[in-house]
Amino acid sequence: MGKGCLKVFKYVVVHELHGLLYFMSAALLYLVITPTRLYTGNRRKMLFVAILTVLSYFYLFYEHIDPDIYILHLIPVSLGFAVLFEGAIPGICTWFAFNIGSYFFLHNEIAPVVAASSCMLLLGLYAHKRFLEGTLTRKIAISMVLLFAYMFVLLSMKPSLMQHSLFIITCLIGSIFSTWLTHYLYFNVKRQEIVKEKLINAEKYQLIGQLAASMSHEIRNPLTISRGFLQIMRKPSLTSEDLEKYIHFAIDGIDQSNAIITDYLNFAKPHVGKIEPIDINEEIKAVMPFITSLALLSNVDIQILPSDENPLIIMGESKKMRQCLLNLTKNGIEAMPDGGSLTIQTLRSQVGVEIIIKDTGVGMRKEQLRSAGLPFYTTKEKGTGLGLMVVNSLLKSMNGRIYFESKPNKGTRCQIVFKDNGKSMKVSGTV
Ligand code: ADP
Ligand code: MG
């Protein structure tokens, strides 16, 4: 008798473990390969369904499955988990997948499984929000209610399952234990994901805070200079020539402070704008008047090479795009104080939509290239060192990437890429 009990116990546990391993692999794989920053909303949920389908296929075709353990353990554990943690779409798809598996592959009776799993699905959909907001203990309590509801409906419609008491008790205990284990694991992995997300945001706010602190320092210098000149201007013995010179210096200092504030605000202000289709070629046309007036002062020749595809559409925000174009072309022109040529090219490549801004200016050495884009890094007397940082931040919000190539005394090539599947793009902050 003892040996028989042990045999049943082992049989159930081994089968439960097999099913559980498949399901947990699907759930954890899903979390690992679909970080929220890359996939959002329904797109992410569809990936859950895809992973579940592939693993269910392997499970149903390559494992030896006990039909009773399947409906007493794997279905309630997986379905409860999917609907409670991930919501409607994954829940409904899991419901479908397991009912199809149960009926078509394992030839279980259809009505009890459909009734029990539907009851669980509906309760899960109802409790989903409360479940997500609750603590781990609350989550497990809600799952237990769902599990018992499932078991109650299943066993009352299929009483034959209760013939082997040891079998059914082991299955029940296994389901309770598996529910607890899956919740505990998933809860912790998900919590890490949330913490990571929060950290990324916190980093940005910390940077904004640091910037604000160093900004006051950066602004104070030009303002002190302006104050000094204004003070000198009080002297009655000044010639009108000197006066003119000092006024010029004082204004310069104030302009410099103003430029720092403008760049900082562009970086720190929350991006509330609407992402919509914009034509890159049109955006370039719109900033041309500003660029040409700058270029005239430095004797720079501008060449525009628009793409064959016209209009060339990306998903973005016109205001941000223009700011990026201005900052980059301004850098290009400023790199050519003795004249040169600036080329702005747009094209559709294999990767997506590209904008290439090339200058024949002073260029950058490797170390300079690494530092460009860091807050307040500038090699210019009147620079703010915030322009490229702003460009990075704006492009990031439009799912764009930026790459630089530069050679000292030869020039700089700046390439902006908007991938076709813009939504899933990652942006490296490096310049
Ligand atoms: P700023 O223009 O105020 O100096 P940016 O962040 O726009 O600040 O640029 C940072 C630094 O990167 C510049 O001071 C310059 O040294 C370098 N840089 C950026 N673009 C170019 C370019 N096209 N050619 C050469 N150097 C550049
Ligand atoms: Mg600049």
- What does the pLDDT read at residue 80? 92
Phi, psi of 137 (to 5 degrees): -60, -45
pLDDT grade for 428, boundaries at 50, 70 and 90: very low
Beta strand 300-305 with 276-279 is unpaired
Ligand nearest to the CA of 412: 1
Q: How confident is the model over 203-207, as a mean pLDDT?
A: 68
Percent of the chain with pLDDT over 70: 91
Q: Atom of ligand 1 at shortest distance to CA of 377?
A: 10
Mean pLDDT of 68-74: 91
Which pLDDT score is estimated for 5? 82
The answer to whether the predicted template modeling score (pTM) of the entire model surpasses 0.75 is no
Q: How far apart are CA 295 and CA 330, in angstroms?
A: 9
Q: In this predicted structure, which of 24-28, 73-77, 108-112 has the lowest mean pLDDT?
A: 24-28
Ligand nearest to the CA of 414: 1
Report the distance separating Cα 431 and Cα 373, nearest Å: 6
Specify the 3-state DSSP secondary structure of 399. Answer: coil
Predicted pLDDT of residue 383? 84
Confidence of residue 272 (pLDDT cuts 50, 70, 90): low
**Is residue 246 within 8 Å of 229, Cβ to Cβ?**
yes
21-to-18, 25, 263, 330 alpha-carbon distances in Å: 5, 6, 53, 57
CA dihedral (350, 356, 360, 362) in degrees, to 10, reads -110
Question: Whole-angstrom Cα distance, residue 423 to residue 101?
Answer: 34
In this prediction, residues 97-117 reach a mean pLDDT of 92
Which of 29-38, 55-64, 320-329 is most confident? 320-329
The two structure tokens encoding residue 111: 């009505």
Q: Does the beta carbon of 359 sit less than 6 angstroms from any atom of ligand 1?
A: yes
Position 429 pLDDT exceeds 70:
no
Do 310 and 339 touch, CB atoms closer than 8 A?
Answer: no
Inform me whether the pLDDT recorded for 204 exceeds 70: no
What mean pLDDT, rounded, does the chain reach? 86
Do residues 232 and 274 make contact, with C-beta atoms less than 8 angstroms apart?
no
Cα–ligand 2 centroid distance for 345 (angstroms): 20
More confident residue, 319 or 117: 117
> Residue 430: is its pLDDT beyond 70?
no
Closest ligand to C-alpha of residue 391 is 1
- As a whole number, mean pLDDT of residues 7-12 equals 87
The residue contributing the CA closest to ligand 1 atom 23 is 332
Q: What is the pLDDT of residue 146?
A: 95
Distance 208 CA to ligand 2 centre (A): 19
CA-closest residue to ligand 1 atom 16: 379
pLDDT confidence band for 264 (50 / 70 / 90):
confident
CB distance 142 to 85 below 8 Å: no
C-alpha 379 – ligand 1 centre gap (Å): 7
- Residues above pLDDT 90, as percent of the chain: 40
**Are 16 and 171 contacting, i.e. CB atoms less than 8 angstroms apart?**
yes
Q: Give Rg (Cα) of the chain.
A: 32
pLDDT(179) > 50: yes
Q: Separation of 375 CA from ligand 2 center, angstroms?
A: 11
Check residue 234 and give its pLDDT. Answer: 86
CA of 310 from ligand 2 middle (Å) equals 29
Query: Is any ligand 1 atom within 6 A of the Cβ of residue 117?
Result: no
Confidence label for 270 from pLDDT (cuts 50, 70 and 90): low
Inform me whether the pLDDT recorded for 364 exceeds 80: yes
For residue 36, name the pLDDT band (cuts at 50, 70, 90): low
Mutation to probe ligand 1, out of 264, 374, 378, 413 (largest number of atoms < 8 A from CB): 378
Q: What does the pLDDT look like over 365-422, one tens digit per residue?
A: 999 999 998 888 899 988 888 889 889 888 988 889 999 999 999 999 999 999 875 4
Q: Which residue has the higher pLDDT, 297 or 208?
A: 297
pLDDT given at position 414: 97
**pLDDT at 224 > cutoff 80:** yes
- Cβ within 8 Å of residue 135, ≥6 positions away: none
Summarize pLDDT for 125-176 with one digit per residue, the tens: 999 999 988 888 899 999 999 999 999 999 999 998 888 888 899 999 999 9
Q: Which atom of ligand 1 is nearest to the CA of 362?
A: 25
Choose the most confident range, by mean pLDDT, from 167-181, 318-332, 355-369.
355-369
Asked which of 201-210, 303-312, 336-345 is least confident by mean pLDDT, the reply is 201-210
Distance 371 CA to ligand 1 centre (A): 10
